[in-house]
Structure 1
Amino acid sequence: MRIAITARGSHPSSEVDESFGRAYWFLLFDTKTESYVAVDNTVIRNSQENAGVKAAELLKERNVNILLTGETGPKAFRSLVEKGIKVFHGASGSVEDTLNAWLEKGMIEAEHANSPGSPYCLVVQSKTLQVDAPKVLLDLLKP
């Protein structure tokens, strides 16, 4: 099994990054080999939009089964669930501390996003209002 943990650095002693899609790093822990692989998330972090959805795709490509993070927005959460990745919110402290908390069953699987995400996550269909501007006629008075 592969567990992804959002991190501020590339080492297991690094602090957890509370953000998912715009995390600095993902540390992937393989339960079979008990080893970490650090994945730099700079490109996705700096993308203009859909960072969470892109990060979910990256984790799926890396065969991740579990995500330990501080928070996820609605689009990211849906994307992770659709890809079969279980999400656990509330990660804090170091990457090692977070992994140990999860291994000791100290984290509960998330049922929904816990962050509103980007303002663009909640796009509402708007109706176009057509307003007839009053026509103003100016009479030029001649002296």
Structure 2
Amino acid sequence: MKQATVRPGGRAPAGPETDGLNARVLVVDDDQVDRLAVRRLLARLPGEMEVREAGGVLEAINLLSDHAFDCVVLDYNLPDGDGLTFLRGLRSAGLEVPVVMLTGQENATVARDLMLAGAAAYLAKRRLSAELLQAALRDALATR
């Protein structure tokens, strides 16, 4: 489990077009390189984020039990469960934290199922950019 506050550097002042995102984000992915990539993208966004990481479902459940998060960035394929089952479990437990799903595969059926289960967004890892992540987080945080 890692925690860090991601602070932007050298950005234009926040304004109507660049209002900063200030949030506590849990990044859940079994691939350390992918977690680092998401962390780096978050660091490029305007605002300040407290970021914690989990390598799987069980670790994420423990963190969600002990800490409040504004958003979860969740990988679909995890060694101890899949993102859809985890998302459904969150909703069954009454946890309405917004979830942005990440996947290494693009599948319309999976995307539909995730959105129906309550995911705020579905993003393909290979197309992930700071702009897409920012838009997804902004939309997800607006649903809180």
TM bracket (short chain): 0.3 to 0.5
- Calculate the TM-score normalised by the size of structure 2: 0.35
- Calculate the TM-score normalised by the size of structure 1: 0.36
Write 1 or 2 for the structure with the bigger share of helix: 2
